[in-house]
A and B are shown apart, each in its own frame.
Chain A
Amino acid sequence: MTVLNVNGQQHRIDVDPRTPLLYVLRNELKLNAAKFGCGLGQCGACTVLVDHEPVFSCILPISVLEGRYIRTVEGLGSEGRPGPVQSAFIEEQAAQCGYCIPGMMMRAQGLLEHNASPSDAQIRDAMAPNLCRCGTQMRILRAVRRAAKAMMADAGTMQETAK
């Protein structure tokens, strides 16, 4: 039995502890966002955050994840109340088939939590592990820049409110 903290909720998982996190998210927890892309840590479709760091969930066994804070796209917001990164991607219509986008959003979320106003080169470098075959890269870059601005504005508003 492995206990996982996913999006702030504790889950008791009864599968082989060698099982990569991706399959547990998708099948045991029925969370759709993280996707199987390669199973090799080469494409980023499975990207989630573990303790604020983007990781390839397709190659990370759950045995090393007890006590860690796992976040998926489902933890960023919902269709009715999307989070800032999701809103930015929707506003920029940054998807074609959309299969890679949840991984892109988690990679972007991880970047923006570390660096609130990244340069274009920093965004490109941070997003480099993730592949998009439809060629949506230009929109994804715009969406990350838009999300950065929105999160900065939100943080500013929160500071103002605190004063």
Chain B
Amino acid sequence: MNAMPPLTRRLLLTTGGALVVSFALLPKLAALAQNVPKLPGDLDKTPMLDSWIAIDAQGRITVFAGKAELGQGIKTALIQCAAEEIEVDPAGITLITADTERTPNEGYTAGSHSMQDCGTAILNAAAQVRGILIELAATRLNLPAEQLKATQGTVVANDGRSVRYGELLTGQDLHRPAQPTSPLKDPKNFVVIGKPMQRVDIPGKLTGKPAYVQDMRPNGMLQARVVRPPSYGARLTQLDAGAVETMPGVVKVVRDGSFLAVAAQGEFQAIDAMQALSALAKWEQGPVLPEQTTIYDTIRQLPSNDTTILDKGTPGQQGAHTVRATYHRPYQLHGSIGPSCALAIFEADKLTVWTHSQGVYPLRNALADMLHMPQQQVHCIHVEGSGCYGHNAADDVAADAALIARAIPGRPIRVQWMREDEHGWEPFGPAMISEASASLDANGKLIDWQYDVWSNTHSTRPEGPAGNLLAAGYLAQPFAQPAPKPIPQPEGGGDRNAIPIYTVPNARVISHFISQMPLRVSALRALGAYHNVFSIESFMDELAHAAGADPVEFRLRHLDDSRAHDVVTMAAKEFGWQPDAKLPRGHGRGFAFARYKNLAAYCALALELEVEHETGAVKLGRIVVAVDSGQAVNHDGIRNQIEGAIVQSASWTLYEEVTFGRDGITSRDWSSFPMMRFPAAPESIEVHVIDRAGEKFLGTGEAGQGPAAAAIANAIADATGARLRELPLTAARIKAAIGI
């Protein structure tokens, strides 16, 4: 009934050789010899099976995941994994997510890791639980396990007898460590994984059920708002809050150093009071910001730590053609539609926080540090918020709520940021610069590749010390922001996807990590991959042009990975890509490809667009995508993520840039930081999923970001003849480039 592990099985099928099979087993034997078997996914960090799965006497199944729903549909996919391997109906599973007193600590829900780490853990834990249930039933029925099978919450014997799961388990049966290998089902027998299943959370969200942290209203709750300083680092020097304390509904003005907030009975009363407080507060301006017009020069002149992340062959080869280009990406927003929100209550020396943070455990540790409390006295519970797309203000607002709750013990405190604060104070995706240089031989093959990228850190997440929580830096006894650290390869931060996936015999890639952060920055969806894929995939088109080659064919000639070949070929075929296609004036088409982090999902896309000659405005047409996410658990979930990534990236790419003056951030709403609206949305997006049954899950949520940006730039170049290398590719820039 149970297949061998997929890799071994496939090797058997494709080679038929016993010698190859034993060779495949060698690394495992070596691991056993060292007595350090690696457990699948996050089972390696949290090995006890009952940390992941509980089955009660009635057979009700609860699955515990340390990853959180961010709108990416992870709950549904995790339920599918569990249901498939435990052999129950998905409707029979209750899923508990991200809670510091109930679920495994899986760090952050980030980096497209949820299926790889959590999905893999749950898939394997569920298979092992099914194995245990069958063993227990074999003992109970006095039959060999081979005569038993699990189905619909019951173990059924060949002789017709059956036992329900709930009757088999007693107390500690699942309190045992997971094994390195699991009796996983053969993917061809899957009935839930890879089959259509609607998202479990959508009906409630679409009918007004309380679905978000914003919707919580515990008894006795107070509404609070924070008065943020006028700029980074400003200090509150003078405040007479007496007039505010007597305003209708106001319960308390909370001040700690330069952290200023007000709690009231009603939400609009809290907003009224916040505005009144803001008018009364006197601030000493913080350090001035750099000039926006010369920000890239400023960044290049800051000290950097340089790391050579690829050094291959003898870089510096001269060829028939050498191409050089420099690319820029501005600071950009997460821009969640719902401003960040949290609830907190402080009672009996314990703090409980309801948060849409991506990492409840790290947040707990940072809050404990900020409040000088033992970590065990802080309980963080994930409740969904508006989509975050990385490290937005979720953790900051949780810190705000915690500080206000401590000042007003016994009352639940709800804080939601105002739009102006979300736009002005969230940590932005960092500005970046890259320089590329490459040489082609006479046959149009790449022989040399050099690439340098300059960036701040892409993570200032509060992972323990409080200093990365916004409010912590403004308290009477402030916490210093910890020194930023780069995220190392192979995942990378600013240098994520900076190493080309293409085959080049001589190559050097250098990551320039800049510690000083003129603006507050952190993780924005895809991190540096957005800029690096934009750069590399724009550059590949420039090189194809120099080689006189079709951009798709030029990519294929430098790709050795057969799965990369497959997505590129499928996207081109489904789009109807023809070399030398003749398009009407002002129309262009573009292609781009990347494997996210060079180790997660593969994504290739082709698109067409039109540039309005008089205005430079871009109208996006048809977009066709091919994606390989490994074993596809929920095809529509993958399509939804890819479609979303493309539309979001198109908006970043065409319109978006944080603006600032010397005194502070000036893009404080959707007027000063415009994003894509419906009339400018693409004509269509068609996503083709290549399902690799039995293969590892490959993270997909961020895979579309970079390719979409580059395909747009390539199509604009195709339409106009003008190559734009500085994001965003605004109508004004296009108009200037085409000289009208």
Q: Which residues of A contact B (CB under 8 A)?
A: 15-16, 18-20, 23, 26-27, 30-33, 35-40, 42-43, 45, 72-74, 77-79, 82, 86, 89-90, 93, 95-102, 105, 121, 123-125, 127-141
CA distance A90 to B204 in the complex (A): 10
Q: Does B488 contact A (CB under 8 A)?
A: no
Contact in complex: A135, B647 (CB < 8 Å): yes
Contact in complex: A141, B208 (CB < 8 Å): no
CA distance A46 to B207 in the complex (A): 14
Q: Mark B202-214, 1 if CB is under 8 A from A, else 0.
A: 1111111111101
Chain B residues touching A, range = 35 or more
Most A CB contacts (10 A, CB to CB) among B386, B643, B646, B685 go to B386
Chain B positions within 8 Å of A82 at CB level: 203, 206-207
Contact in complex: B70, A97 (CB < 8 Å): yes
Q: With A86-B207, A133-B336 as given contacts, are A96 and B678 in contact (CB-CB < 8 Å)? A: no
Q: Does B671 contact A (CB under 8 A)?
A: yes
Q: How far is the CB of A26 from chain B (nearest CB, A)?
A: 7
Contact in complex: A138, B682 (CB < 8 Å): yes
**CB contact list, B604-652 vs A, under 8 A:** 636, 640-641, 643-648, 651
Q: With A42-B669, A96-B72 as given contacts, are A128 and B677 in contact (CB-CB < 8 Å)? A: yes
Main SS at interface, chain A? loop
Contact in complex: B669, A93 (CB < 8 Å): no
Q: Does B384 contact A (CB under 8 A)?
A: yes
Contact in complex: A16, B212 (CB < 8 Å): no
Q: How far is the CB of B19 from chain A (nearest CB, A)?
A: 48
Q: Does B516 contact A (CB under 8 A)?
A: no
Sample 29 A-B pairs with CB under 8 A, ordered by A number: A15-B268, A16-B269, A31-B208, A32-B215, A37-B339, A38-B670, A40-B419, A73-B207, A73-B208, A79-B209, A97-B337, A98-B201, A98-B202, A99-B338, A99-B385, A100-B337, A100-B386, A102-B208, A124-B681, A128-B678, A133-B386, A133-B675, A136-B640, A136-B643, A137-B647, A138-B681, A138-B685, A139-B643, A140-B678
Contact in complex: B337, A37 (CB < 8 Å): yes
CA distance A43 to B386 in the complex (A): 13
Q: With A124-B681, A135-B643 as given contacts, are A36 and B416 in contact (CB-CB < 8 Å)? A: yes
Q: Which residue of B lies closest to A82 (CB)?
A: B207
Q: How far is the CB of B547 from chain A (nearest CB, A)?
A: 34
Q: Does B518 contact A (CB under 8 A)?
A: no
Chain B positions within 8 Å of A74 at CB level: 207-208
Contact in complex: A23, B205 (CB < 8 Å): no
Q: With A127-B678, A138-B685 as given contacts, are A32 and B209 in contact (CB-CB < 8 Å)? A: yes
Contact in complex: B337, A133 (CB < 8 Å): yes
Contact in complex: A133, B419 (CB < 8 Å): no
Q: How far is the CB of B654 from chain A (nearest CB, A)?
A: 13
Chain B positions within 8 Å of A40 at CB level: 419, 669-671
Contact in complex: A134, B644 (CB < 8 Å): yes
Q: Which residue of B lies closest to A129 (CB)?
A: B677
Contact in complex: B338, A45 (CB < 8 Å): yes
Chain A positions within 8 Å of B210 at CB level: 32
CA distance A15 to B603 in the complex (A): 53
Chain B positions within 8 Å of A32 at CB level: 208-212, 215
Q: Which 4 pairs across A and B sit closest by C-beta, in order of nearness?
A: A97-B71, A135-B647, A97-B387, A135-B644
Q: With A16-B268, A99-B338 as given contacts, are A90 and B206 in contact (CB-CB < 8 Å)? A: yes
Q: Which residue of B lies closest to A142 (CB)?
A: B684
Q: With A15-B266, A93-B636, A135-B648 as given contacts, are A72 and B214 in contact (CB-CB < 8 Å)? A: no
Contact in complex: B268, A20 (CB < 8 Å): yes
Contact in complex: A37, B682 (CB < 8 Å): no
Q: With A16-B268, A96-B387 as given contacts, are A72 and B208 in contact (CB-CB < 8 Å)? A: yes
Q: With A32-B215, A96-B640, A133-B648 as given contacts, are A43 and B337 in contact (CB-CB < 8 Å)? A: yes
Chain A positions within 8 Å of B338 at CB level: 35-37, 45, 97, 99
**CB contact list, B69-90 vs A, under 8 A:** 70-73
Chain A positions within 8 Å of B5 at CB level: none
Contact in complex: A27, B419 (CB < 8 Å): no
**Partner among B202, B206, B335, B681 whose Cβ is within 8 Å of the Cβ of A137:** B681
Q: Which residue of B lies closest to A120 (CB)?
A: B683
Contact in complex: B670, A42 (CB < 8 Å): yes
Chain A positions within 8 Å of B207 at CB level: 33, 73-74, 77-79, 82, 86
Q: Does B241 contact A (CB under 8 A)?
A: no
**Partner among A45, A121, A123 whose Cβ is within 8 Å of the Cβ of B337:** A45
Most B CB contacts (10 A, CB to CB) among A74, A101, A130, A139 go to A139
Q: Does B17 contact A (CB under 8 A)?
A: no
Q: Does B307 contact A (CB under 8 A)?
A: no
Contact in complex: A128, B679 (CB < 8 Å): yes
Q: How far is the CB of B322 from chain A (nearest CB, A)?
A: 38
CA distance A127 to B677 in the complex (A): 8
Chain B positions within 8 Å of A105 at CB level: 206
Q: With A132-B337, A137-B647 as given contacts, are A93 and B679 in contact (CB-CB < 8 Å)? A: no
Q: With A86-B206, A125-B679, A131-B337 as given contacts, are A93 and B199 in contact (CB-CB < 8 Å)? A: yes
**CB contact list, B415-472 vs A, under 8 A:** 416, 418-419
**Partner among A43, A73, A101, A138 whose Cβ is within 8 Å of the Cβ of B647:** A138
CA distance A15 to B268 in the complex (A): 10
Q: How far is the CB of A160 from chain B (nearest CB, A)?
A: 29
Q: Does B267 contact A (CB under 8 A)?
A: yes
